[in-house]
Amino acid sequence: MDTELWDAVRARLAEVNAPAVGHRGGPGTAAYSPYLLSGLLRCGVCGARMHAQTVTRRKRGQSYAYGFYVCGFAKDKGPSVWPHRTWYRRDRLEGSILSRFRKAMTPERIETVARTVNAHLDAAVRQRQTRLSGLKSEVLRLETEAARNSSAQNRSGRGARSPNTWTATR
Ligand SMILES: [Zn+2]
């Protein structure tokens, strides 16, 4: 496998595993696509990104879904750009690339991928813990504030709830 493809696959792995992926775009971006090669393949005629398409066909009362990759430019421009309009079967394309990928996977490369994925997972966990402790101190701050307000109201004789009640009913 050539280095370029390997780099692209590694970048995609990083993208899929990146914890901050939600900030770069919602569902429907390449990282969320169930298609393995979304955002990686480019049209041989114009260089536009290949789009993944699912076509459903009915055969003898059964419906079958077929996946294809097609030039994104052709998809937008319609039939006037006919040289781009080849539809590539998803299973064949992915199958041939996966078999090349499998052959190219040396133990060193597997280790690199594993390390990359682990680093992203660690970062995601750390980010979540930071967010959680931020929320905890915010809750504590609000509880303290509520207790202060409540005891101020008690002193002024308006019979507000005690801090304990407030905490329990939260
Ligand atoms: Zn094209």
Instruction: Give the Å distance between the CA of 74 and the centre of ligand 1.
Output: 6
Which residue carries 């996966």 as its tokens? 98
Residues 74 and 147 in one domain: no
Instruction: Give the Å distance between the CA of 14 and the centre of ligand 1.
Output: 27
Instruction: Give the Å distance between the CA of 80 and the centre of ligand 1.
Output: 12
Give the C-alpha distances (Å, rounded to integers) separating 141 from 65, 134, 137, 162, 164: 54, 11, 6, 16, 15
pLDDT digits (tens, 9 = 90+) for 123-170: 888 888 888 889 999 999 999 999 998 888 877 755 555 555 555 555
Q: Tokens for 55?
A: 């076509």
| Domain boundary, last residue among 85, 105, 125 | 105
Mean pLDDT score of the chain: 77
Residues 59 and 94 in one domain: yes
Instruction: Give the Å distance between the CA of 76 and the centre of ligand 1.
Output: 10
Range of the domain at 111: 106-170
Contact present, 34 and 40 (Cβ < 8 Å) = no
pLDDT above 50 (res 20): no
pTM over 0.85: no
